[in-house]
Amino acid sequence: MDEAAVRRELRRGGWWLPRRGVIAVLPRDRDVAAHLAATAAVRARRHHVISHRSAALLHGLELISAPRRPELSAPHGAYSHTSRDGHVRTAWLEPEDVDRWWGAPVVSVARTIVDLARTDAASGLVALDGALRDGVVDLVDVIAALDRAGPLPGTVTARAVLPHGSPLAESALESLTRWCLVSGGVPAPELQVVLVDPSAWIHRVNGGDRFRLVC
């Protein structure tokens, strides 16, 4: 297409400009804008990778909150900072921890879950439960990604929360409730407990144990 044809599409509103130098041919909505902003930011910064909540958006993982700016990771030795283009963190990434999204480098699903858990335990568990439920990742792969992360800040928190991941959690609120119980010293409940009464009714609760029920 020549430039005149591109300009016509932009005037018609089918295409739009999320930022200077980037033309979007995808529908205009908040999530698409976040994807494109992250992709454009990483394209402008050599050796940077889309990570954390921005990577979670690209992978379709459940999030408690979406990022206001693109979140990127830079090679170990660079400095963490926040600018108009995004929030940059330093990280040690092995080749198996990096995938591609339409040509843009993005942290893998397993490593993204690890990074979310390092920065916020609840966010990590919500993302992990959803990924396990959808069959996107295996817990073994997530633990392997955690081992590769080495002594990065927050890995102790990640090691405490990630083993509690379960594909039986049916929503983010169930994951959050379970983490509140576990972090508060209450044993992890059995998920999706079926109760059968002699009078022939059957109920299923989100979680419970022999002493208490959590609905």
Are 188 and 208 a contacting pair, CB within 8 Å? no
Q: pTM higher than 0.85 for the full model? A: no
DSSP string, the chain: --HHHHHHHHHHTSSEEEETTEEE-S---HHHHHHHHHHHHHHHSTT-EE-HHHHHHHHT---SS--SS-EEEEEBTB--EEETTEEEEEE---GGGEEEETTEEEE-HHHHHHHHHHH-HHHHHHHHHHHHHTTS--HHHHHHHHHHH-S-TTHHHHHHHGGG--TT--SHHHHHHHHHHHHTTPPPPEEEEEEE-TTS-EEEEEEE-SS-EE-
Residues near 173 by Cβ (< 8 Å), separated by ≥ 6? none
Q: Are residues 52 and 104 in the same domain?
A: yes
Percent of the chain with pLDDT over 90: 27
State what percent of residues in the chain have pLDDT above 70: 74
Tokens representing 86 are: 């995004």
Q: Are residues 114 and 178 in the same domain?
A: yes
139 lies in the same domain as 154: yes
Read off the pLDDT band of 215 (50, 70, 90). very low
pLDDT at 42: 74
> Residue 195 sits in which domain range?
188-215
Are 24 and 54 contained in the same domain?
yes
- Which residue did the predictor score with more confidence, 17 or 84? 17
Angstrom distances, CA of residue 52 to CA of 12, 18, 115, 144, 146: 35, 21, 6, 17, 14
- Do 70 and 129 have their domain in common? yes
Radius of gyration of the chain (CA): 21
User: Are β-strands 49-50 and 71-75 bridged in parallel, bridged antiparallel, or unpaired?
Assistant: antiparallel
Whether residue 192 sits in one domain with residue 130: no
The tens digit of pLDDT for each residue in 28-80 reads 666 666 666 677 677 667 788 989 998 998 888 999 888 888 888 887 655 67
- Report which of 132, 124, 126, 119 is spatially closest to residue 80, judged by C-alpha positions: 119
170 and 209 inside one domain: no
Mark whether 195 and 180 lie in a shared domain.
no
Shared-domain flag, residues 107 and 20? yes
145 and 104 in one domain? yes
- What span, in angstroms and rounded, lies between the C-alpha atoms of 131 and 139? 9
Pairing of strands 81-83, 86-91: antiparallel
Identify whether residues 135 and 215 lie together within a single domain. Answer: no
> Are 51 and 149 in the same domain?
yes
Spatial distance between the Cα atoms of 17 and 23, rounded to a whole number of angstroms: 5
Count: domains in the chain? 2
- pLDDT tens, 134-146? 899 999 999 999 9
pLDDT for 28: 63
Residue 209 vs residue 58, higher pLDDT: 58
